[in-house]
């Protein structure tokens, strides 16, 4: 039996957000046309002045009128900054792409394909493709970093059709696992089941040894202490939501990761209606990216452009 002391509320992971929004007016002032968008891509990927790959001269590059290309001032070699990016071979205007990216960072609940279709004035097929390309870009921009310190774990069931059955074992749902570092990043991924081997594998891959780990009472988490983690279980079945563990000098709860799942589920239900297991990983990456960078809203746009 685990030693427990008087329960007390946790403030870990809760920060005051002093975010200044990147308004629509500021967006169109910054990117009034395709040329301004192309220049930003060039600046981020190569720089308007750099060493030419053909002649080896450090020089400036100038925009070529009517083409998505820049020319070396020394030798005239052409450079296409959109090559190898999500913009390559796309007939959709760059400003439309940029505005779609802006919509993804300006919302907490995501953007559906139908909403992109109406807002951008494109076909649904184009809107669907743009949305998934941006989600992939968000996954890439977030990168991978081992979680450390104090990490909360919680699995959830999302998607599927409405039925009388809820919770673990509900049919037609996708099983997902979330990991939230106190004061740090959130990671989430689709998992095939909630067996010990599956959950243990995710933790070993994403959480540093020696970290404090908080979970609910799910039996599959029992192996964590043997793997070098300081494990504490919150017994939700006994109406316990938080407790102080003197062994680790830590407050065990899963509040932050549960808040992430609450937002994700409500967003899926209200914005997307339904997401398939095939594409669930992309939606998880999108929401994790926004959660991880919510305190740097103005820089979030440039972070995505830099990930091109």
pLDDT band at 227 (very low <50, low <70, confident <90, very high): confident
More confident residue, 48 or 18: 48
CA-atom Rg of the chain in angstroms: 23
Give the tens place of pLDDT for each residue, 151-163. 999 999 987 655 5
8 Å CB contact between 1 and 237? no
Q: What is the pLDDT averaged over residues 249-266?
A: 93
Percent of the chain with pLDDT over 70: 89
d(CA 308, CA 303): 9
What is the separation of C-alpha 16 from the centre of its chain, rounded to a whole number of angstroms?
20
8 Å CB contact between 213 and 229? yes
- Predicted local distance difference test score (pLDDT) of residue 164: 52
Q: What is the pLDDT averaged over residues 40-69?
A: 93
More confident residue, 12 or 167: 167
Joined tokens for residue 171: 């049919």
**Least confident among 122-126, 143-147, 213-217, 292-296:** 292-296
Residue 209 has pLDDT above 80, yes or no: yes
Give the tens place of pLDDT for each residue, 75-121. 999 999 999 899 998 999 999 999 999 999 988 899 999 999 999 99
Residue 52 has pLDDT above 50, yes or no: yes
**Structural domains of the chain ordered from first start:** 150-282 (3.30.420)
Give the tens place of pLDDT for each residue, 115-143. 999 999 999 999 999 999 999 999 988 88
- Predicted local distance difference test score (pLDDT) of residue 274: 82
Pairing of strands 150-158, 212-216: parallel
Those residues whose C-beta lies under 8 Å from the C-beta of residue 145, and which sit 6 or more positions away, are: 185
By CB atoms closer than 10 A (0-12, 13-18, 19+), residue 38 is buried
- Predicted local distance difference test score (pLDDT) of residue 171: 65
The DSSP bridge partners found for residue 190 are: 176
């Amino acid at each position: 039996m685990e030693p427990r002391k008087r329960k007390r509320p946790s403030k870990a992971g809760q920060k005051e957000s002093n975010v200044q929004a990147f308004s629509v007016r500021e967006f169109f002032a910054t990117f009034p046309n395709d040329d301004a968008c192309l220049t930003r891509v060039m600046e981020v990927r190569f720089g308007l002045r750099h060493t030419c790959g053909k002649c080896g001269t450090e020089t400036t590059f100038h925009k070529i009128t009517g083409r998505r290309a820049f020319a070396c001032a020394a030798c005239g070699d052409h450079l296409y900054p959109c090559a190898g990016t999500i913009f390559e071979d796309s007939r959709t205007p760059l400003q439309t792409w940029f505005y779609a990216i802006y919509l993804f960072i300006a919302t907490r609940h995501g953007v559906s394909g139908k909403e992109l279709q109406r807002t951008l004035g494109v076909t649904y097929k184009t809107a669907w493709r743009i949305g998934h390309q941006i989600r992939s870009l968000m996954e890439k921009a977030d990168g991978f970093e081992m979680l450390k310190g104090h990490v909360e774990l919680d699995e959830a069931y999302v998607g599927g059709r409405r039925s009388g059955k809820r919770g673990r074992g509900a049919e037609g749902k996708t099983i997902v696992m979330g990991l939230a570092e106190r004061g740090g990043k959130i990671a989430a991924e689709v998992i095939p089941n909630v067996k010990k081997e599956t959950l243990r594998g995710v933790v070993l891959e994403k959480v540093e040894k020696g970290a404090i780990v908080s979970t609910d009472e799910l039996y599959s988490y029992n192996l964590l202490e043997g793997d070098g983690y300081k494990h504490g279980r919150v017994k939700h079945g006994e109406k316990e939501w938080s407790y102080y563990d003197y062994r680790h000098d830590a407050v065990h709860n899963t509040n932050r990761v549960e808040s992430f799942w609450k937002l994700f589920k409500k967003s899926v239900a209200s914005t997307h209606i339904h997401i398939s297991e095939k594409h669930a990983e992309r939606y998880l990456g999108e929401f994790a990216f926004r959660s991880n960078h919510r305190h740097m809203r103005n820089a979030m746009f440039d972070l995505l452009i830099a990930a091109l």
